[in-house]
Structure 1
Amino acid sequence: MDFDLTDEQRLLKDSVEKMLADAYDFEARKRIVASGQGFSPEIWASFAELGLLGLPFAEEHGGFGAGPVETMIVMEAFGGALVVEPYLATVILGGGLVRHAGSPAQQSAILPAVAAGERRLAFAHAERQARYDLFDVETAARRDGDGWTINGRKGLVLGGDTADTLVVSARTAGASRDRHGIGLFVVDADAPGVARRGYPTQDGARAAEITLENVRVEAGAVLGDPAGALPVIERVVEEAIAALCAEAVGAMESALASTVEYLKTRQQFGTPIGAFQALQHRAADMLVALEQARSMALFATMMAGAADPRERRAAISGAKVQVGRSARFIGQQAIQLHGGVGMTMEFRIGHVFKRLTMIDTLFGDADHHLALAAEAGGLINA
């Protein structure tokens, strides 16, 4: 199989990396995190200008019709730069739901504004009792004349405090853990009855707790089947996991590079600590873990568009297992090899470790996905 990038993909990679190198160093990132918004409007506009915000959308919606490989390229660069802008929330999650489930009219109304950087989306789905089970939804949507009324609470809504539009999952039929009976609704973030409590996450990004109390939406706000949205949710989350795996590879690569550079410059007993063979072996083990994660992230990218949901799910879970394990190992080794400075907020490596830890837990940690892969019969049988 040919893993070489096309000329267009190499150009995308070079453009994103150059933009981030010029405008997104660690000091700039710290200022963005401290601003309270959780993102930089100027950087967001630059993403739109480069076409990143419309990358996976069709050309008629202001996008490029790109696939999982292009998303992988962008997310790996974002991981290396520790980007905190809500790209995952807006383009991959929110935009992915509209792209897969929305009608042509809904796509035309929402996606061009997203691609232009004029609208940010957030996927309000996770609930306290659900943990990692996507089908566990208690938020309820009930028929109200020609529309719907939504009541419930959502937690850890990535980018939820600055989003303009929410894509809310709600139960329209059945019990709270039934797979059938879940719908998706497009809700204005400032609609009457919507309350948001924003907060910073441990990795420097932003999220929100969202309460919906008698929030009324029109019939045209429903994305697809009002009782059959779970397969779409699962597919979009699997695409998001593949993107997170690529982001983790970028972050791990930067952690390894920073650690090797530190080993070359930090002096102990009159010599660089990188001269000690035991520390060289630990750096070599980090490289092995990185390449294992890179291989599985490529696998997840290739399988993200698979038509068979069982095959796709097993592959994505297998990748999440390896990436989570590699992220934990590389993060721990990087902190230890940096010594005390690795634990300080002023040093970059600690922030890399926090982001890797967050990626491991988002949408299910390594143990959760190991169980899912086992239930599917493993990657070979899948």
Structure 2
Amino acid sequence: MLQLFLSIFFSATVCAQTSMPADIPLDIPDGFSATAIDIVGKEKYCVSGFLYNDAGPSQSAYVFLLDSMTGKVVWRTSLPPERGYIGSSATHCASNGDAYYVATEENTNSSESLNQTRVVLNKLSVNGRVLIKRPIAVGFDEWAYLLDVQPNAISVGGGASATLQRGGRFTTFLVQFDKELVRTNVVKMDSGAFWIGSSAKLQGQHMFVTGHFFPNKSSGGKEAFASSKVDFSSGKYVWSNYAFPEETRQAVSAFASDGSIYSAALTPDRLEISTINSAGKTVNGLIVKKPLCHIDAASLVGNVLSAIGPSCKDNASSIVVYIDITKKSVLTMSESNFAMSAPQFDGHTWVGIAHDKKNGQLFKRIQPQGAEYGGQIH
């Protein structure tokens, strides 16, 4: 069964990519750094990030749409911070087919101890023109790790701190808007907050989330990496699972449609894989020697969980690990000859942004390797 899956997976990947260029030069300004790539249509990718200007120094949110079938950047848009804010960055992008919605974060100060961040939801036309900018306005210092676009709601989820230096009191929030960015629903939970960079998925009024959790003193929770199911209709946690070891430095999850969570966690010396079922119970696990130094993203295809991140040897290459979560074994591990930023699995390959001295920034793909690279990591 596994061999059949791999055969279908790899052959479908190769067939799907034969008509597409492997590397696409990007006609974007120097100084761009990608923070996220989101799939917004067939072979269409919305790339979020920021432009750095060392004359200030300052940074400004920047987003562009790439059509990988034509190999062209369709549009590119700058989203500078408003007056009173010194810098901004685009963090998420999504589309309903009629418009693009981009989440940006704007900062008041370059000093972390003095900075206050606000999250702004931006509506762009199909041509990338800015139509509406709407601050979500839920807290003193905000961050977002979720943007979900559905026909009936545009949802932003994240956390907020009531004090500088993100020292608490912490809030978890979900803010929803209609397609014209009129606010329709706000839910704020004051038990604590998951940190910047958390993995999250929204299913109806339930959010599944994995990340570093910071509780408020009165909540009864603990500061640790955790996974939770949150019910925003009741404003309560359905369950929380602290499945990760105390020495965890990072945890990233992929979410299945049945409510299960598949997580990859890094400690100083190992990679731990865990499966949490829809009831919040840990039902499976695997520990292997640490194959990468940071997890940029994770994806689930069938029973195969893949994770991508930089090599521990240097920052000049990316490593992809493919893990059979049912057989508890590493199937495949491959290393590219380039470092990929903002990687995203598009259903066929890992895609991301890489820098080339000759051609500048490129949109690149990492093809899954054949089963001959498989086997256990000891």
TM-score normalized by structure 2?
0.29
Greater strand proportion? 2
* Greater RCO (CA < 8 Å, at least 6 residues apart): 1
Greater helix proportion? 1
